[in-house]
Structure 1
Amino acid sequence: MSTIKLKDGVEIFYKDWGTGQPIVFHHGWPLSSEDWDAQLFFFLERGYRVIAHDRRGHGRSTQTPYGHDMDTYASDVYELVKALDLKDAIHVGHSTGGGEVIRYANKFGKGLISKAVLISAVPPVMVKSEANPDGVDISVFDDIRNNTANHRSQFYFDLTVPFYGYNREGAKVSSGIQHNWWRQGMMGSIKAHYDCIKVFSETDFTEDLKNVDIPVLIMHGDDDQIVPYANSAVKAAKLVKNGTLITYPGFPHGMPTTEHETINKDLLEWIKK
């Protein structure tokens, strides 16, 4: 197992395979680097150096009760990037990981990051407010908090259904995918997962999106039942200076797994541009 010890003593687990231009993958809540299996294998086979880490409190990283905020997550990534001496890196984030990517790019990534990819990602901001009237009501996130705190095991398994669009007519349900999602979630810390709900729902990435100059690819399914497309991808694409939006009709939130052949092909094509 490969780990680095951060300045606050937290150990971050990571995978680092291959050579060539580095691609760093940032996972979503409440998962781990394993959620990128289809991408790690695909890009490794095509000559890239692929890196994926378990966010603090998630997967095999330290189950610390502290530091569960987006600035700390982005700082952790910076420490990992410096430790591995990554230059000209492409950073790819799914869901919460997309927020982590754009915060890292804005606060720490200048000169270190060449491109950013946001897949089914939470920016600009999820929660409904006066400034974001078409956002998701806070009661939805309160319900996620309640279920995480009190019914985590069953809730995580149930959540795989909308996550992968398995409640849609004609969906091909994979129990293996469902159990792998559940396995990843249950490996992490309940405290970290609980605190991260506020992070992914209430963090405002508007200024991060406005400030980055690098090319940004935004990939989102229009049937995403977890991070609504119109409140995220459409708005984010309007805020970035150098953005490309690819919309996938009918694709679910977990499309990097269920639709990995399409996602990997489009991602590779954009990277090579």
Structure 2
Amino acid sequence: MATITTRDGTRIFYKDWGSRNAQPILFSHGWPLTADVWDAQMVFFANKGYRVIAHDRRSHGRSDQVWDSNTMDRYADDLAELIEALDLRSVILVGHSTGGGEVTRYVGRHGTGRVAKVALIGAVPPLMLKTEANPGGLPIDVFDGIRKGTYDNRSQFFRDLTIPFYGYNREGAAISEGIRESFWLQGMMGGLKGQLDSIRAFSESDFNADLAKFDKPTLVLHGDDDQIVPIGASALSTVKIVKHAVLKVYEGADHGLTQTYQDRFNADLLEFIET
């Protein structure tokens, strides 16, 4: 297992595939998953000649489970330490859901000196929580429900969450039990305390100031039937902040579109990277 040890002593697991001399693409996963959710993209882009890296966020997957520091700032700093440890330059950052927040906070805290492009996929910025300044967000009760479900019966909650996550509750949806089982397995690899902390990190972090610092080509890709991160308070708001961002909306698509629309997504991401 490949790991780095961060300055606070946390071991972060990562995968590093493809040619070490190629342009790197770094993938950041959503909650409560792991780097494994990106395997199909990593194989696809490595076969296209890119170096591909994906890590398990602290307290998720094979990385250390820590009691404190499960915050968006620390996630971004872990990402920075991984980028520096591998000496990645002209890196393309791809973040899905919570990973989109991680990538965005990385830009806000560490700049874009090592970054070539950014892709935010079903991402949580600018702010998921409903506030007076963000009336389009989701009420705190939604996130309290996620916390309660995760704490009370994490195993069952993760199984149930796959239904809206992948749009399997929509008429005509082709349900993949394999995808559901993989989601459950990845979720159960993580630490409960860190996963609970992460709910606050992805729902209450305000990314407006981070997005204002974007100065690299940016793709904002979202499904308009995303039941986990509704498009209105996320992608449609992000493109109003990030100058020259490219918005791509998948009609009828769910939150887990990197898997349910895998071939289309891979092709669109490749087009963005190579344009």
- AA matched with 2:197: D
Q: Does 1:132 align with 2:96?
A: no
Contact 1:78–1:109 (Cα < 8 Å) also in 2: no
User: What amino acid does structure 2 have at the position aligned with 1:260?
Assistant: Q
Confirm whether residue 5 of structure 1 aligns to residue 5 of structure 2. Answer: yes
For 1:41, the equivalent position in structure 2 comes to 43
Matches within 5 A, 1:50-61: 50-61=52-63
1:44 and 1:50 in contact (8 A); partners too: yes
1:151 aligned counterpart, secondary structure: helix
> Counterpart of 2:152?
150
Question: How far has the Cα of 1:106 moved from its partner?
Answer: 2.2
> What is aligned with 1:224?
226
How far is 1:38 from its partner? 1.4
Distance between the aligned counterparts of 1:67 and 1:36, measured in 2?
A: 25
Q: Deviations over 1:179-223 (max 9, x none)?
A: 000000000000010000001001000011111111110000000
Gaps of 5+ in 1: none
- Measure, in 2, the Cα distance between the counterparts of 1:95 and 1:198: 14
> After the TM superposition, which residues 15-30 of structure 1 pair with which residues of structure 2 at under 5 Å, given as runs?
15-19=15-19, 20-30=22-32
What is the total number of aligned residue pairs between the two structures?
273
Residues 165 and 252 in structure 1, CA contact (< 8 A), matched pair in contact too: yes
Structure 1 CA distance for aligned equivalents of residues 137 and 111 of structure 2: 28
Moved more, 110-119 or 175-184: 110-119
Aligned mates of 1:251, 1:3 — CA distance in 2? 34
- Residues 142-189 of structure 1, C-alpha deviations (whole Å, 9 max, x = no match): 000011111100000000000000000000000000000000000000
Pairwise mapping of residues 205-224 of structure 1 onto structure 2 (< 5 A)?
205-224=207-226
Report if the CA contact (8 A) 2:112-2:215 is conserved: no
TM-score, length basis structure 2: 0.98
Partner of residue 239, structure 1: 241
1:87 aligns with 2:50: no
Aligned-pair distance for 1:242? 2.6
- Please tell me the residue identity of whatever aligns with 2:242: V
Which residue among 58, 67, 75 is the counterpart of 2:69? 67
8 A Cα contact 1:32 1:55, kept in partner: yes
Equivalence map 1:91-130=2 (5 Å): 91-130=93-132
Which contiguous aligned blocks of 4+ residues in structure 1 show a shift greater than 2 angstroms?
A: none
The structure 1 residue matched to 2:33, chosen from 31, 38, 48, is 31
Alpha-carbon displacement from aligned partner over 1:82-105 (angstroms, at most 9, x marks no partner): 100100000000000001111112
Query: In 2, Cα distance between the equivalents of 1:100 and 1:204?
Result: 12
Q: What letter corresponds to residue 37 of structure 2 in structure 1?
A: D
Q: Over aligned residues, Cα RMSD in angstroms?
A: 0.7
Aligned partner (choices 255, 258, 267) of residue 257 of structure 2: 255
Provide Cα deviations, 1:126-148, integer angstroms capped at 9, x if missing partner.
01010011210100000000111
SS of equivalent to 2:255: coil
Unpaired segments ≥5 residues, structure 2: none
**Cα separation, 1, equivalents of 2:213 and 2:80:** 18
Deviation of 1:110 after TM superposition, in Å, equals: 2.5
The match for 2:14 is 14
Letter in 2 for 1:172: A
Distance 2:68 2:56 in 1: 15
Structure 1 distance, partners of 2:151, 2:171, is 31
- C-alpha displacement at 1:107, in angstroms? 1.4
Contact 1:209 1:240 (C-alpha < 8 Å) held by counterparts: yes
